[in-house]
Each structure stands twice: as structure tokens, then as C-alpha cells.
Structure 1
Amino acid sequence: MLLLAISVNGQLKTISWKKMSGITLLNNAGKTETISQTRVIVLVFLSPECPLCRNYIQVLNTLQKKHTEVQIFGIFPGTAYTAKQINDFQKEYKVSFNLLIDRKKELTHYLKATTTPESILISKLGAIPYRGLIDNWASGLGQKRKVTTEKFLENAIEDVLNQRIPATSQTKPIGCLINDI
């Protein structure tokens, strides 16, 4: 666990689990939930209108199935979507991980998320060893590779689970900007 507290460049960015657990989110049934320090988590900021988000659900489902010791949460920032719309999204795209709505965008602002889809990996100690792209399939807005050659999020998860510092700590997310709605 020591390696997750220190990186080769100094300290990794960290979050406060106390602050995180104080942020109230809504699940797709409309009930309040919080994210707590129980295990390694991945937060992926999503929008049901974003084509990249829709396309990445299968990749995220596969990651959740492969790494059951990691908890993935899809976070929908803002007030643009109702719990019913999120529930419909979950059913239509067969999402196998938890979906939560960040109505007040407290979590979004706290973690400085800007884009959907944007992934943030958080260790049990609260370190953020990776944030950014899920992989390099999308090379720009409207531009996609035929073959994915870099699996940034998956590699970072495996590094953290094996107590290694991820080779890539941050990438610039590509997708739809999170708006103020």
C-alpha cells in the first residue's frame, strides 16, 4: 500500500473519504446513496446522450466482471436527467455497475471532472493513481481507431491491484463537456 501513497514524482493526488462520503447522490431508483471507502473504486462520468458513453458501457461492464474487487460507479452530473431516464439507460445498454446521479454536481466539482466519459480510479487510501480516458479507441471528437492499442483504465486498475504505480497517471479525456445543467 505504500506505493499508492507516493509516486515517483512525489505524492499522488488524493481525495478525502470523509468529504466523499458526505456527498449525497441519487441511484436510478431515486434513493440517496453515498460512496464510501470499502474498496478500490472507479468513477466514470457519463451522459446518456453522449455516443462515446454509450459505446463504452460494454468495456466498463467487462472491467467490472473481470475485476470484482473493484467497484465501478457511473456518475451522471447535473439535473438534466431523471432517475427514470438513468434506469432506462441502464436497461437499454445492459449496464452491470451502479449508476448514480450527482444532482448538485458536488462530486463532479470536487473531483474536477470535465468530460463524459471521464474515468477516475481511487485507491482505498484515497489516492488517485489514474484519471482520464478509458482507452485510446477515441482519438478525437468523431475520430475512432479501428483497433484499441492502449487500455489506460484497465492497466491502471491492474497496477493498483498489484500494488504498482500505473505507468500512465493521467490522460486528457475526449468526449462531451459536462455542462452546467
Structure 2
Amino acid sequence: MLRCCAGAVVGCALFLTVVTGCTRSDRVDLHAVRVMVLSTAEGDAVTLDTLLGRRATLFFILAPDCPLCLNYAPYLASFPDTVGDVRAVGIFPSRFMDRDSVRLFAKAHGIHMPLVMDPDCKFAGLLGARVTPEVFLMDNDGELVYHGAIDNWASRPGRKRVSATAHYLTDALSSFAENRPPPRREVKAVGCFIEYP
């Protein structure tokens, strides 16, 4: 009897560990974000603290060679680096990306937001990023207000609609501006997988 109960307890504990360990947190370690030192695409050292918006920061996880990022380049170019109290920042997570390719990507498409290199994928890992492009709207308390897909234009790798019919990021930003929770806090992003070291 005792052996059976012990097995059930261990089984439940293992199940809870796996379930909670495999889910993404809705909160980011804000201290780790504030003190993290990375470099810009221009080569300047920067702490992420200096890039945070007044109320929130929108992190675009990008790769200049990802076809879907290239497809979203006009959207990124039309996106101001600050929307109200929210600042947009491009994060490029890969040790295989060089600054020149990021600068050329930004220049070719007219992207003006701050661009930050994340060669060890430490910041991308802190957010729980899986693919590019993927967005993370984080408030100044470290809460992820929204994360995932920009919209539903890409339905799965290699498949796109003619045009998006759901605009998840726009909805999240509008809700945030009105101090309301977004209609959806997370939508799985489709794109190029991040190669973690």
C-alpha cells in the first residue's frame, strides 16, 4: 500500500515538474533585463535598461536571412520606434549573424528602431523566444502583456494567406494603450527557428 502511494506521489510530482517546466512564464526577470549588456548593430555596448519604453517595450525577435522576416520588412519599416509610451526594439539572436547583415537589412528596408545583437541568445532565451519573427510586449514590471505572432498572415512554415485577417500585435497594443488586457496574451509564432548555442 505504501509503495503504491509513494509511486503515485512521485508520478504526480514528476508530471507537475514537466508541465510547469515546459510552459513559458508570463513574467520576465526584469533585473536580468535591466543589467544585460549587449551591443547594437553599430557595435556600441548598450544595457537593455537604456532601451526600455516609458510604460512598455516591444521586442521584435528577427533574423535578416529569415524569409518571413524579409516578408515583414515593410511592416517593420512602417513601425515607429516609439508608439505612445511603448518603445520598439529589434533583437537579433544568433552567433551566426554579423552586424553588417543586420545593418544592410535595416537600411534596405528603412527600419529605424534600435537594433541589438544577441549572439549568445541570452536575451531571446530569457524571453522564451523560439522563432523569428516573434514579438514580446513587456510592461515595465516585467509582465509579458502579449507574445507570439504579429498577425495570422503566416499560417505555418511555407504557407501564407493573401493578407492577414487577425492582427494580434495591433490588438495587443491598442488594448495596452487603453489599459485593458489584450484579447489574446499569446499566439504561437510561425517562422525560422532560433539556433540556441
TM range (shorter): 0.7 to 0.9
- When you count helix as a share of all residues, which structure comes out higher? 2
Q: Which runs of 5+ in 2 are unaligned?
A: 1-24
Please give the TM-score of this superposition, normalised by the length of structure 1: 0.87
Percent sequence identity over aligned pairs: 29
Number of the residue aligned with 1:167: 183
160, 175, 192: which one pairs with 1:144?
Answer: 160
Matches within 5 A, 1:1-181: 13-36=26-49, 37-39=52-54, 40-64=56-80, 67-180=83-196
Letter in 2 for 1:74: G
Q: Kindly provide the CA deviation profile for residues 45-92 of structure 1, in whole angstroms up to 9, marking residues without a partner as x.
A: 111110111111222333326824321111111211121221111111
Tell me if the contact between 1:61 and 1:96 (Cα under 8 Å) persists in the aligned partners: yes
Tell me if the contact between 2:82 and 2:88 (Cα under 8 Å) persists in the aligned partners: no
Going from structure 1 to structure 2, the CA distance change for 1:63 and 1:159 (only over 3 Å counts) comes to farther
Q: Which runs of 5+ in 1 are unaligned?
A: 1-11
Tell me if the contact between 2:151 and 2:164 (Cα under 8 Å) persists in the aligned partners: yes
Tell me if the contact between 1:123 and 1:160 (Cα under 8 Å) persists in the aligned partners: no
Partners of 2:174 and 2:195 lie apart in 1 by: 32
Q: What SS does the aligned partner of 1:18 have?
A: helix
Tell me if the contact between 2:172 and 2:182 (Cα under 8 Å) persists in the aligned partners: yes
Corresponding pairs, count = 170
Q: Which moved more, 1:169-178 or 1:94-103?
A: 94-103
Please give the TM-score of this superposition, normalised by the length of structure 2: 0.80
Partners of 1:148 and 1:61 lie apart in 2 by: 17
Tell me if the contact between 2:57 and 2:139 (Cα under 8 Å) persists in the aligned partners: yes
Report deviation, 1:146: 1.1
